[in-house]
Amino acid sequence: MSTAIRENVDLQAFNTLGLRARAAHFVELTNEADLAPLLARAKAEAWPVQLLGGGSNIVFAGDVSGLTIRLSLRGIRLISDSQAGAKIVAEDCVIIEAAAGESWHEFTQYTLAQGWAGLENLSLIPGSVGAAPVQNIGAYGVEVADVMHSLRAYDREQGRVVELSAADCGFAYRDSIFKSQQPGRYVILSVRFALSAKRPLVLGYGDIQTALATAGVQEPSAIDVAQAVIRIRQAKLPDPAVLGNAGSFFKNPLVPSAQIEQLQAHFPGLAAYPAQLSTPGWQKVAAGWLIEQAGWKGYRRGSVAVHERQALVLVHHGGGNGAELLALAADIVASVQARYGIHLEQEPVLMGG
């Protein structure tokens, strides 16, 4: 086995919040064939196994015991191209596969440069391709569930590589079987996407139309949409390279429409909108609005804070730890619950501690 296991490894550079934590055992997986022997070793040593991608959706609550495997598998390949006469999925559709360790943003830009639309609204989301299905990443009206064809994963229960269709993944709003139902069972090795030059663009969310108009674009291409999304995100969200953060710290809560109507009578500004993949009669409420109206925007406590432009984002100014961040998050949850009767659920995954 070429992959070396290191001990007592500093994880600060491996999480975008920049929280301090150490991994008891740590390995960078660059070769798929090394995975099964690594998992066998972890089993023999009774080490719990943690999977790490880009660390942009993780809060380290403390040190991480057992074996942390960082998925660094690389490679992008075209699986099928209907125009080339290969396995036809839909007319003008390509199936393209990326290995788990590829950068998500770079992959989206690569596909767009080839002329394939589908991932433009998901530009500039940090992290790896392998983690994208885990919480069914989404932005500006598009989720991975809308564009994913299938994935390959190592099933730790069966001890073999399996292929899962998008339907097998149990996708829901910021959720999948990998996040809530069977966490840790599957190590995602590569993900396949169905993209097409003729895929209709999704322009109705957020400020996309405004950003396109500002740029003077009248008949946008997928690349124009990606550039608009990138500009909006750069203006709204803190860059983790400059200020530690994990993006949205809370999910937008799903609330029964009847409760929303009652709340809107007291809080006329409360914004609600239909959720993709959700049950009829429920709507999503903007968690950032709830937090901002509860007075938290810009609040700082020691080294952790609520971002001054985006109340949904908790930030770490450096020198702090996961416990401080989680204490602030707990106070925000309690305050929103007391004010609106709505429970906020944390989006990033807890690890260690």
Ligand X SMILES: Cc1cc2nc3c(=O)[nH]c(=O)nc-3n(C[C@H](O)[C@H](O)[C@H](O)COP(=O)(O)OP(=O)(O)OC[C@H]3O[C@@H](n4cnc5c(N)ncnc54)[C@H](O)[C@@H]3O)c2cc1C
Of 60, 178, 193, 249, the one binding ligand X by CB under 6 A: 178
Sheet holding 64-71, edge to edge: 6-10, 22-29, 64-71, 49-52
Asked whether position 138 contacts ligand X by CB under 6 A, the answer is yes
State the catalytic residue, choosing from 156, 174, 192, 199: 174
Asked whether position 187 contacts ligand X by CB under 6 A, the answer is yes
Asked whether position 349 contacts ligand X by CB under 6 A, the answer is yes
Kind plus residue range of the DSSP H or E element containing 335: helix 322-340
- What whole-number distance in Å separates Cα of residue 161 and Cα of residue 82? 26
List, in sequence order, every residue forming a beta bridge with 151; answer none if it has no partner: 164, 191
* 221 given a catalytic annotation: no
Of 21, 27, 112, 131, the one binding ligand X by CB under 6 A: 131
What are the DSSP calls for 215-281, one per residue?
A: TT-SS--HHHHHHHHHHHHHHHS--TTTSEEEEESBPPPEEEHHHHHHHHHH-TT--EEPPTT--TT
Q: Are 222 and 230 in contact (CB under 8 A)?
A: no
Asked whether position 57 contacts ligand X by CB under 6 A, the answer is yes
Judged by CB, which is closer to ligand X: 139, or 336?
139
Mark residues 148-177: x for contact with ligand X by CB under 6 A, - for none. Answer: ------------------------------
Q: Are 138 and 144 in contact (CB under 8 A)?
A: yes
State in angstroms the smallest separation of the CB of 189 from ligand X: 7
State in angstroms the smallest separation of the CB of 47 from ligand X: 15
State the catalytic residue, choosing from 97, 102, 143, 347: 347
Asked whether position 352 contacts ligand X by CB under 6 A, the answer is no
Q: How far is CA 60 from the centre of its chain?
A: 16
Asked whether position 228 contacts ligand X by CB under 6 A, the answer is no
State in angstroms the smallest separation of the CB of 93 from ligand X: 24
**Which region among 133-141, 292-300, 304-312, 334-342 touches ligand X (by CB under 6 A)?**
133-141
Asked whether position 193 contacts ligand X by CB under 6 A, the answer is no
* 174 given a catalytic annotation: yes
Judged by CB, which is closer to ligand X: 247, or 340?
247
- What whole-number distance in Å separates Cα of residue 292 and Cα of residue 315? 15
Size of the site for ligand X (CB under 6 A): 33
**Which region among 55-63, 107-115, 204-212, 277-285 touches ligand X (by CB under 6 A)?**
55-63
Mark residues 277-306: x for contact with ligand X by CB under 6 A, - for none. Answer: ------------------------------
* 7 given a catalytic annotation: no
What does the chain come to in residues?
A: 353
State in angstroms the smallest separation of the CB of 2 from ligand X: 19
- Secondary structure in 3-state letters for 137-176: CEECCEEHHHHEEEEEEEECCCCEEEEEECHHHCCECCEC
Residue 107 DSSP code:
H
| Burial readout 145-163 (b: 16 or more C-beta within 10 A, e: otherwise) | bbbbbbbbbbebeeeeeee
Which residues ranging from 32 to 51 are in contact with ligand X (CB under 6 A)?
A: 51
Judged by CB, which is closer to ligand X: 51, or 93?
51
Binding site for ligand X (CB under 6 A): 16, 51-58, 71, 100, 125-128, 130-132, 134-135, 137-139, 178, 186-188, 237, 240, 245-247, 349
Query: Which residues are known to be catalytic?
Result: 174, 248, 347
